[in-house]
Amino acid sequence: MNKENRIHSAALRSKVMSANEAASLIQSGMNVGMSGFTGSGYPKAVPSALAKHIMDANLNGKRFKIGVWTGASTAPELDGALAMVDGIEMRLPYQSDPTCRKRINAGEMEYIDIHLSHVAQFVWFGFLGKLDVAVVEVAGILEDGRLIPSSSIGNNKTWLDQADKVILEVNSWQSAQLEGMHDIWYGTQLPPNRQPIPLVRSSDRIGEPYLRCDPDKVIAVVETHAPDRNSAFSPPDANSKLIAGHILEFLQYEVKKGRLPRELLPLQSGVGNIANAVMAGLNEGPFENLTAYTEVLQDGMLEMLKSGKLASASATAFSLSNEALAELNADLARYRERIILRPQEISNHPEVIRRLGVIAMNGMIEADIYGNVNSTHVMGSQIMNGIGGSGDFARNAYLSIFMTPSQAKGGTISCIVPMASHVDHTEHDVQVLVTEQGLADLRGLSPKQRAKTIIENCAHPNFRPALSDYYKRALQFSPGKQTPHLLDEVFDWHLRALRGERM
């Protein structure tokens, strides 16, 4: 293990201990605010040590469960390890861990899916109860005790401010050159004393590069040298390329129509392979001098920064493959000039997103013929991941785009359905739907006009006739003609899929 000294505060150096000792300071029943966002900047040692304590307690017949609050998804060493030993009573917000997902869907773990911009303020408002401990990864500690943030910021500022006690993990694997990349704004207030957030360009810096932390609250400092999750992205498949192509064509049309400037408006790109493919498409497209005001910086955006297509990017976290990380670290001093990591309450803030006029592009599970979008629940009841920041961006964006392949599970399931089995984004927040089949521009259309456009442009040909048939009969027999539906058959498609039949 190659540990360099990253702890320059004598007071905090005196609190260094093992992960095992630090974990023993966390008691059953506590709410623990952990760092971590989309597999970066999460604590690498204390959660796994805590999982061992929980397992020991369970073997001795004792119940040991904690509340786990994070920025967003973490990694197997945190969510996976704690879920494996059934140590999580309540999890919030976004997660994507398979073991967590299994426990949540089995009814063994409570899960609150909150808009990511809401989490910090809900804690400040006292809506979620008391935060007992913060466990936060940092890249280093300055002599005066200020903290150099890690590869994500997420809710760390709030955890450090609000928790009674703090455990710091100082990870020397994170590049020391991260110092200076972050922008932590300490101007948030509680209503009625709130002030406008002074951010008018996506690349503005409005705060300071360090996190503040009361050293008296720090009960342990743990040194680590461990990598982030850094999962690889699949190369864009045929469907993702088609989706990216439709979006590019649409954006070019909008520029031609004078509804978007030539360098577009700040881009927000969601999680996953399709979002990454759209960035790859933009990287080869005609637009120059682009900007990003987003939540997660994935490989595709880093490529665009490298090529120069993207002038700057603001996010709250990285989510990179190993190759992209190597590229970033090799030239971090230069990238640092053009990348800003902010707290998620700012990266996802409705006020800022609305002001900047963000172009939001997010994935979805299904949409219905009227444009209501389900981002989170398979067949209406099984959580996939969570709403993440998609709602923060969709409602407040200049343009809100949702994308998905038109079919799932080998063509047995249509991602365009008569009625969404769960709604995260209502028809009012969805302006454009895209599948590999095409793009439906829903702006200025009534529900009936939307239905025709979505079925014609986005549905797979295998499902289009059945959707058209449903819509025509709904038009004829629905008691209301504003948003026609046949309530007695509206979920037949899902019921068939649940029985293992084709939708």
CB of 265 to ligand COA, least distance (A): 16
Output the residue with the shortest Cβ distance to ligand COA: 363
User: How many CB atoms within 10 Å of residue 87?
Assistant: 23
Instruction: Look up residue 474 and give its two tokens.
Output: 């709904």
CB of 396 to ligand COA, least distance (A): 12
Q: Which residue in 139, 143, 222 sits closest to 182, CA to CA? A: 139
> Strand pairing of 413-414 and 407-408?
antiparallel
- Active-site hit among 295, 303, 327, 345: 295
User: Which lies closer to ligand COA via its Cβ, residue 215 or residue 411?
Assistant: 411
- Which residues inside 190-229 make contact with ligand COA, applying CB under 6 A? none
By CB under 6 A, residue 117 contacts ligand COA? no
User: Which lies closer to ligand COA via its Cβ, residue 134 or residue 278?
Assistant: 278
> Strand pairing of 218-224 and 399-403?
unpaired
Residue 122 exposed, middle or buried by CB count within 10 Å (0-12, 13-18, 19+): middle
3-state secondary structure string across 217-232: HEEEEEEECCCCCCCC
By CB under 6 A, residue 413 contacts ligand COA? yes
Residue 235 exposed, middle or buried by CB count within 10 Å (0-12, 13-18, 19+): exposed
Residue 503 vs residues 8, 39, 239, 460: alpha-carbon distances, Å: 61, 34, 21, 12
345: CB partners within 8 A, 6+ apart:
117, 119, 120, 121, 155, 158, 188
**Where are the alpha helices (H) located in 76-139, listed in sequence order?**
81-84, 98-105, 116-125
CB of 112 to ligand COA, least distance (A): 15
258: CB partners within 8 A, 6+ apart:
none
CB of 170 to ligand COA, least distance (A): 28
Instruction: Look up residue 437 and give its two tokens.
Output: 């089949």
| Separation CA 81–CA 84 (nearest Å) | 5
By CB under 6 A, residue 409 contacts ligand COA? yes
Among 390, 453, 457, 483, which residue sits at the site for ligand COA (rule: CB under 6 A)?
Answer: 390
User: Which lies closer to ligand COA via its Cβ, residue 312 or residue 374?
Assistant: 374
Binding pattern for the stretch 247-276 against ligand COA, x by CB under 6 A and - elsewhere = -----------------------xxxxx--
- Which residues inside 330-389 make contact with ligand COA, applying CB under 6 A? 362-366, 375, 378, 384-385, 387-389
| Separation CA 394–CA 402 (nearest Å) | 9
30: CB partners within 8 A, 6+ apart:
66, 67, 132, 133
> Which region, judged by CB under 6 A, interacts with ligand COA, from 9-17, 84-92, 174-182, 407-415?
407-415
CB of 407 to ligand COA, least distance (A): 8
User: Which lies closer to ligand COA via its Cβ, residue 270 or residue 343?
Assistant: 270
Q: Which residue in 57, 58, 22, 62 sits closest to 43, CA to CA? A: 22
CB of 303 to ligand COA, least distance (A): 18
By CB under 6 A, residue 295 contacts ligand COA? yes
Instruction: Look up residue 134 and give its two tokens.
Output: 């913060």
By CB under 6 A, residue 438 contacts ligand COA? no
Strand partners of residue 438: 435
User: Which lies closer to ligand COA via its Cβ, residue 155 or residue 175?
Assistant: 155
User: Which lies closer to ligand COA via its Cβ, residue 41 or residue 145?
Assistant: 41
User: Which lies closer to ligand COA via its Cβ, residue 32 or residue 353?
Assistant: 353
| Separation CA 437–CA 455 (nearest Å) | 10
Give the number of residues in contact with ligand COA, rule: CB under 6 A: 24
By CB under 6 A, residue 317 contacts ligand COA? no
| Separation CA 431–CA 466 (nearest Å) | 24
User: Which lies closer to ligand COA via its Cβ, residue 363 or residue 484?
Assistant: 363
- Which residues inside 45-64 make contact with ligand COA, applying CB under 6 A? none
295 is catalytic: yes
Residue 38 · residue 3 · CB < 8 Å: no
User: Which lies closer to ligand COA via its Cβ, residue 341 or residue 387?
Assistant: 387
CB of 414 to ligand COA, least distance (A): 7
Give φ, ψ of 135 to 5 degrees. -120, 105
By CB under 6 A, residue 93 contacts ligand COA? no
By CB under 6 A, residue 408 contacts ligand COA? yes
Among 415, 434, 442, 467, which residue sits at the site for ligand COA (rule: CB under 6 A)?
Answer: 415
CB of 460 to ligand COA, least distance (A): 11
CB of 266 to ligand COA, least distance (A): 13
Residues forming the site for ligand COA (CB under 6 A): 270-274, 295, 362-366, 375, 378, 384-385, 387-390, 405, 408-409, 413, 415
**Which residues does the annotation mark as catalytic?**
295
